[in-house]
C-alpha cells in the first residue's frame, strides 16, 4: 500500500569527529522517504524555497517516491540546520536553525494523494499535523513524530494530535519529558492513555522499545561499528517501520515487532555516512542480511 509522509525538507551542515558535510540534503521527510521506499511506494509532501538546489532532486529519481506533493515556493528560502556531534555523538548540538519556509503556511496535499491509507506525520507543529490529517479522510494507519520544542511550548495541542493517531514515534528523552515518567514502559503506557494503539520509543545506540496496550517489546540497536553521522537515524527508523507495515498491510503484534526490527536495521545504514550516503546502500537484500545478524545476536535458549 502507498505510504504518505509530510515533514521537513532542508539543507544541513553537519560537524562530527569524522569531518564536516556542508549544505547537504536533510530533513525528516527526506530520511523517512528514502528509508520507507525500500519497502513500499512513498508519497512525499513538503515545501522548499526557490533556493533549493536542483541536484538534490536526483536521489529521488532512483526510488519509488512520488514528488507530486513537493512544492517549490517562490520568494521563500529552504529550511536550514547546522549542528555538531562530539564525543560518542549521542546528542546533537544545534548551532543554527533557519526555519525559513517552515515558518510559513504548510504544504498542500495534492488531490491525487487524498486516498492515502498509510500516513506518517513527521516532526512539525501539532496543529499543522492535524490540519494535514484532516485532508486525508481515508487514512487507516496514522503515526506521528514530535520533538521537545512542541512538548515544551504546545503540550495541549500535541496531546490533542496524539488522540487522533494510531501510533507515536519519539525518543526516550521526549517520552520522559512528555509524561513525567522516568521509566520508559510506564511513559509509553501513559501516552497510550491519550489514544494511540502503540508507541515506539527510540533509545539511540541502545535500540528501541515498543509499547502496546497488551505488551512491550525491546530490541537492541544493530551493532554498527562505523558511526559517521547520526543525523536522520530516528527518521530512518520510522521510515523502515512504516514502510514495512504499509508493505504487509497489517498491524498486529507480530507485524509491529517485525516492523520495529526493520526500522532499527534501516537506521543502521543511515549513521554510516553523512546525509543520505549511508542510507542509499540499504536495499531489501542488505537489510535482510543485517536482520539475520541481529536475530543471531539476540537469540538465546
Nearest-angstrom CA–CA distance, 264 and 222:
7
pLDDT of residue 70: 95
Return the H-helix or E-strand segment holding 240: helix 233-248
Query: Do strands 19-26 and 10-16 pair parallel, antiparallel, or not at all (unpaired)?
Result: antiparallel
pLDDT of residue 285: 97
pLDDT of residue 1: 78
pLDDT of residue 300: 84
Residue spans of the domains in the chain: they are: 3-298
Question: Tell me: domain 3-298, CATH 3.40.1190.20, correct?
Answer: yes
Nearest-angstrom CA–CA distance, 35 and 218:
21
Sign of CA dihedral 272, 276, 287, 245: positive
pLDDT of residue 72: 96
pLDDT of residue 222: 95
Low pLDDT (below 70) residues in the chain: none
* pTM for the full predicted model: 0.96
**3-class SS at 25?**
strand
Helices (H) and strands (E) in the chain, counts: 9, 13
Amino acid at each position: 500500500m502507498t505510504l504518505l509522509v509530510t515533514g521537513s525538507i532542508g539543507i544541513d551542515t553537519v560537524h562530527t569527529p569524522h569531518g564536516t558535510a556542508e549544505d547537504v540534503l536533510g530533513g525528516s521527510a527526506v530520511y523517512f522517504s528514502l528509508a520507507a521506499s525500500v519497502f513500499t511506494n512513498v508519497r512525499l509532501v513538503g515545501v522548499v524555497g526557490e533556493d533549493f538546489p536542483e541536484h538534490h532532486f536526483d536521489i529521488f529519481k532512483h526510488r519509488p517516491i512520488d514528488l507530486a506533493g513537493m512544492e517549490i515556493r517562490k520568494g521563500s528560502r529552504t529550511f536550514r540546520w547546522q549542528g555538531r556531534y562530539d564525543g560518542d555523538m549521542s546528542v546533537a548540538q544545534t548551532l543554527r536553525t533557519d526555519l525559513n519556509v517552515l515558518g510559513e503556511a504548510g504544504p498542500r496535499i495534492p488531490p491525487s494523494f487524498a486516498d492515502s491509507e498509510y500516513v506518517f506525520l513527521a516532526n512539525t507543529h501539532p496543529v499543522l499535523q492535524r490540519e494535514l490529517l484532516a485532508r486525508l479522510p481515508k487514512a487507516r494507519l496514522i503515526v506521528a513524530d514530535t520533538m521537545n520544542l512542541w512538548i515544551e511550548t504546545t503540550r495541549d495541542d500535541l496531546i490533542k494530535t496524539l488522540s487522533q493517531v494510531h501510533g507515536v514515534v519519539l525518543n526516550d528523552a521526549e517520552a520522559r519529558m512528555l509524561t513525567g515518567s522516568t521509566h520508559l514502559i510506564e511513559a509509553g503506557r501513559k501516552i497510550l492513555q491519550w489514544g494511540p494503539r502503540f508507541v515506539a520509543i527510540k533509545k539511540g545506540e541502545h535500540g528501541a522499545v515498543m509499547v502496546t496496550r497488551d505488551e512491550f517489546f525491546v530490541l537492541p540497536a544493530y551493532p554498527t561499528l562505523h558511526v559517521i553521522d547520526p543525523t536522520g537515524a530516528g527518521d530512518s527508523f520510522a521510515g523502515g517501520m512504516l514502510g514495512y507495515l504499509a508493505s504487509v498491510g497489517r498491524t498486529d503484534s507480530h507485524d509491529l515487532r517485525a516492523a520495529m526490527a526493520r526500522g532499527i536495521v534501516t537506521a543502521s545504514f543511515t549513521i554510516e555516512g553523512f546525509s543520505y550516503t549511508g542510507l542509499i546502500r540499504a536495499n531489501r537484500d542488505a537489510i535482510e542480511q543485517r536482520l539475520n545478524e541481529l536475530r543471531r545476536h539476540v537469540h538465546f535458549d
